[in-house]
Amino acid sequence: MGSVAGVQELCLGANVFGWTADRDSSFAVLDAFVDAGGSMIDTADSYMWRAPGNSGGESETILGEWMAARGNRDRIVLATKVGSLPDRKGLSGDNIAAAARDSLRRLRTDRIDLYWAHRDDPDTAQEETLDAFDALVRDGSVRAIGASNFSADRIRSALEISSRDSLTAFTAVQPHYNLMERDEFETVLAPLIESEQLACFPYYALAKGFLTGKYRPGGAATDSPRAEGARAYLDSRGQAVLAGLDEIAAGHEVPVASVALAWLAAQPAITAPIASARTTDQLGEILPMRTLALTDDERRLLAYLSATS
């Protein structure tokens, strides 16, 4: 990924496409993201099989149709995942090869820029998994590979195997990390990421929507079916974080969500946070993070307010 001075990278999460965002809404969000200078989009073959009437691959299909319609594949840094779709579960060699073919067909492309192992598969030897990924890289259908939802120990062992066997190694990780979820990442994963010089793209960067500021005590949004995850953060610590975000957002005249993302992007181990938007209005709440420079005092304040001990 390239970078522009003064601009922080943002990876657009495509989990809502084909779920809470239909084809037209998805196209509008994607157009606006690219028009604003964005390039990296993160999806998965399993998005969103849980939604009524879906079977998986809906997000990839929409992305493929959009890139074909716009003729912009070469402008996009495209990431997708394997291992969580019920019909393509796990990281066996045969499954990775078949899933990659399926994803390439839905995405209407000849290569995946970053192919994630969606989650660890303890029932498959890491040697088999890495052999399969290496074969995809060697034939040109995958450019780089990454580990999503892996423990530090399993990332470390995978790197050792790749080095020992001269196989393509994981170059990126995708962990759960945000202002409200810090301890495990900062104490265990971040040191490994920095020492191994891995790219890091945290998911749930807005804490399941809590860090947008929409979910507050007594607010109507807390009654939304999608608010269950956000409600878990509505304790005294969460309310203190929201108050800090409100103050900083007002000072910069930007949305609360963009402040939370700017804090995350400024952390030493982070390459770019992943955030999704189902409408162009929601996208407008997160795009300002790309040029938002928080002061040292503002970053320290949010770190203090979100600390768990």
| Dist. CA 252–CA 254, nearest whole Å | 5
Active site residue 215: no
CB atoms closer than 10 angstroms to residue 218: 6
Residue ranges in the chain assigned as alpha helix (H): 23-35, 58-70, 93-107, 126-138, 152-165, 183-184, 190-196, 228-231, 236-252, 256-265, 280-286, 296-306
**Of 47, 115, 204, 233, which is the active-site residue?**
47
From 185, 56, 58, 170, select the one nearest 117 (Cα to Cα): 170
Rounded to 10 deg, the angle between the 256-265 and 296-306 helix axes is 100
- Supply φ then ψ for residue 102, to 5 degrees: -60, -45
Q: Which amino acid is at 256?
A: V
Which residues are known catalytic residues?
Answer: 47
